[in-house]
Structure 1
């Protein structure tokens, strides 16, 4: 099992959800987060004073899935999120040792 964390622009969330649903992935956790990378924020003017906004709004999508689905899910996310511009986001993949469904006590892949 692996956990995929994708940090992407908020505007692509619906496309990612639709793509994952068509792929057969329905369980995910979505969080609104703030962050910066190469994009480095932007400058704004408020009451005549210019200031920098270093942290930009992003969305973090977390999915735990079986090893056989990794490439397909990565493909879905990258196709939905890629604009070719700085700030498209990142995907992180980590190994998961075990998962337990609290309601039934199922473990491993069966808990997903």
Structure 2
């Protein structure tokens, strides 16, 4: 019996609506494709047209799955999350689509302005 290692990662880029998450996702999938990787992308678009920033309804983002083989779907669990702030991160973690070993990168740039949130 032989075993085969496969390289597949699903990550999420989470921001407030209007901050360019979908554009960043488009740039990333083009970069991955140029390196010969297979990519699958799914945008997360808020239901409201202009939700207030730093609120749960403002969650916008993109799920990207990258692999060294042909992908048929977006997958079930996320390995890496990059979040603009803690509100969109908390909102997304509530969906429970992350793995137990998920790595979270949280932008702390707003900490000085929103001390109580961090």
If the TM-score is normalised by the length of the shorter chain, which range does it land in?
Answer: 0.3 to 0.5
TM-score by length of 2: 0.36
User: Which of the pair has the greater relative contact order for Cα pairs under 8 Å at 6+ separation?
Assistant: 1
Give the greater-gyration-radius structure (CA).
1
